[in-house]
Structure 1
Amino acid sequence: MSRTLFITGASSGIGAATARAAVEAGWKVGLFARSEDKLSALVDELGSDNAVAIPGDASDYNAQAKAVANLAEVWGGIDAAFANAGTGLSAAGTEAGDPEEWERMIRLNVMGVLWTAKAAMPHLRERKGHLVLTGSAAGRTHIKGSVYSASKWFVHGYGGNLAEEMREWGGRCTVVAPGMVDTPFFEEAKPDKLQPEDIARSVVFALEADPRSNVQEIFVMPTR
C-alpha cells in the first residue's frame, strides 16, 4: 500500500522540495497551494501517478478540508500532512507594523496550521499517521518587536501539544525549524544560506523514522 502525504504551500520553496524528496522516498503527494500553474508544472515533473495538484488557499478551512478529502479519495487515505504554508511581514516591529498585514499573516501562519491539523486528523487517526509543521528558528528566540516570530512561537507550542494529543492513538507530530532558507519568502536570494532541499530531507527523515519513535523537533541552521 502506497503512503500519501498532503503538503500545503507546495508550489515552491520548501513545499515543492519536500514533494520531490517524498516522491523519491516512495510517497504519493497531494500538492496544495494557490498557484495552479506551478502545481501543474510540479505534477508534470513528478508524474501523475505520484502527485496530484489541488489548488486552494491554506487560510480557508473549507478549502483545506475539501482538498484533504479529495486526496484521501484519490489514493485511499492519508498517512501524513505537512502544514508548510506561511508568510512574513513587510513592516517590522509593533509601532511600525500594519494591522491588516498582521491579520493576513496570522490567518495563514496560525489559522492555516490549525486548519491543516483539523482537516487531516480524522484521516491520520485511521492510519496512525504523522503531522509535520514548518516552524522556525525565529520561533525559539526573542526578536525585537517581531510579530512573525510570535506566530512561529505558536507553531512550536501547538506542535508539542499536538504530539501529546496524537500520541494517545499512535500518531506523531514533528516541528521542523529552519534558520534562514533561500526561498521566494525573501525578496533577495540567499545562496549562502540553507536550501529548500535541506529542509525537505529533514521532513522525510522524520516521516521515515521507525514508528516506535517520534522525532518531535528538528532544528536546521545554516553553517554561515
Structure 2
Amino acid sequence: MDINGAVVLVTGASSGIGAATARAASRAGARVVLIARREERIQQLAKELGESVALAVPCDVTDRSQIEGAVQAAIERFGQIDVLVNNAGQGLQATVDAIDPDDFRAVLELNLLAPLVTTQAVLPHLRKRSAGAIVNVGSGIIWSTLPGSGAYSASKAALQKLSAIARAELADEGIAVSMMFPSITETEFLGRVRGNVEDARQMEAASGLLPQSPEGAADMILGLIRSGAEQADLVPEKFGGTLNS
C-alpha cells in the first residue's frame, strides 16, 4: 500500500525500532500515531515530526481500555487508521527451571496478547476502508535454541503463528498481515529485560552478531507495509534468516 497520506499507528514508539519506524513513516508522507507509556518521549517525538502530522498518545498496551482509547483518539484526530505496527515488546532471560511465572505472564501480555488486542481494536477501521496493513515485530531468536531464551522465544514464536493465521483470515478483506524479524538491534531492549539481565548481555555478546541500527529495521517494516509480503528479516543465514553475511 502507499504510505504517503496513510495514518500509521506504532506501539512502543518511545525509542528504538518504534521511534525509528515513526520517523521513517513520517518521512514517507504518513501521519503517525505514537503509542507508548513514556509520555514525555513520545510528546518530544511528536514535536520533532510536527504536531500537525503526529499524535502522541500515552498508553499501556496491556490495558484494553487504554488501547481502545488510543485508537479512538487517532480516529478523532485523523479520521482513519491505515497501518498498525505492533512493536512494543520485552525480553525475559531465565533457564526453564528459573522462569518466574509472573515474569512470563507479563511478557506474554506484552509480546502476544497486546498485539492481538490492538489488532482487534484497529480492525473495524481497516475493514471500513477494505484495505490496510498490520506488521508484527517478532525476533530472529525463534530460529535458534539458546539456553535462557525459552520464555521470550516462546512468546515471539506464538506471535508468528498468530500472525500467519491472521494473514490467512484477513487476506480476502484487503488487509495484509506481515511479520518482521529483527536481529540484535541497537536499542534499550537489553536494559529492560526481565530475569537475568547479565546473562542476556553475555548471550548477546557470545553470539558474535554486530548490533544493527533501528533505522534498518524501520526501513524493512516500511517495505512490508508497501509490499504486503508475509515476512522479512534481518537475521544472518547461519542463524536461520535470509541475510547474507
Amino acid in structure 2 at the alignment position of 1:216? E
Q: Which residue of structure 2 lines up, in the alignment, with residue 113 of structure 1? A: 115
Q: Give 1:177's aligned residue.
A: 181
Which residue of 2 is the match for residue 96 of structure 1? 98
Q: Distance in 2 between matches of 1:12 and 1:20?
A: 11
Letter in 2 for 1:124: L
Taking only the aligned residue pairs, the percentage that are identical comes to 34
- Per-residue deviation, 1:121: 0.7
In structure 1, the partner of 2:48 is 45
Is the 1:139–1:151 Cα contact (8 Å) retained in structure 2?
no
Query: In 2, Cα distance between the equivalents of 1:197 and 1:149?
Result: 23
**Do the aligned partners of 2:7 and 2:31 also contact (CA within 8 Å) in 1?**
yes
User: What amino acid is the match of 2:181?
Assistant: A
Q: Give distance in 2, aligned partners of 1:65 and 1:166.
A: 21
Which residue in 1 is equivalent to 2:138? Answer: 135
Q: In the alignment, what sits opposite 2:194?
A: none
How much has 1:4 moved relative to structure 2?
A: 0.1
1:204 partnered with 2:204: no
Deviation at 1:167, TM superposition (A): 0.5
> 4+ runs of 1 displaced by more than 2 Å?
139-145, 187-192, 221-224
- Residue in structure 1 matching 2:210, options 173, 184, 192: 192
Q: Normalized against structure 2, the TM-score is what?
A: 0.84
What amino acid sits opposite 1:14 in the alignment?
A: I
What displacement does 1:97 show? 1.3
| Partners of 1:221 and 1:141 in 2: CA distance | 11
Equivalent in 161, 164, 168 of residue 160 of structure 1:
164
Q: Quote the offset at 1:168 in angstroms.
A: 1.9
3-state SS in 1 of match to 2:96: coil
Aligned residue pairs, count: 219
CA contact (8 A) 1:14 1:199 kept: yes
Return the alpha-carbon distance in structure 2 between the equivalents of residues 88 and 50 of structure 1: 32
Matched, 1:5 2:8: yes
Q: Match for residue 196 of structure 2?
A: none
Unaligned runs of 5+ in 1: none
Query: Deviation digits for residues 68-102 of structure 1, max 9, x if unmatched?
Result: 1210121110001011100012x412111111111
**1 CA distance for matches of 2:217 and 2:146?**
22
Does residue 81 (structure 1) correspond to residue 116 (structure 2)? The answer is no
Q: Which digits, 9 at most, give the CA deviation of each residue in 1:104-152, with x for residues without a partner?
A: 1111011111111111111111221111100111223433351100000
The CA distance in 1 between the partners of 2:9 and 2:153, in whole Å, is 25
Contact 2:134 2:176 (C-alpha < 8 Å) held by counterparts: yes
Q: 2:20–2:214: 8 Å Cα contact kept in structure 1?
A: yes
1:83, 1:3 → 2: CA distance?
A: 16
Is 2:31–2:54's contact at 8 Å kept on the other side of the alignment?
yes
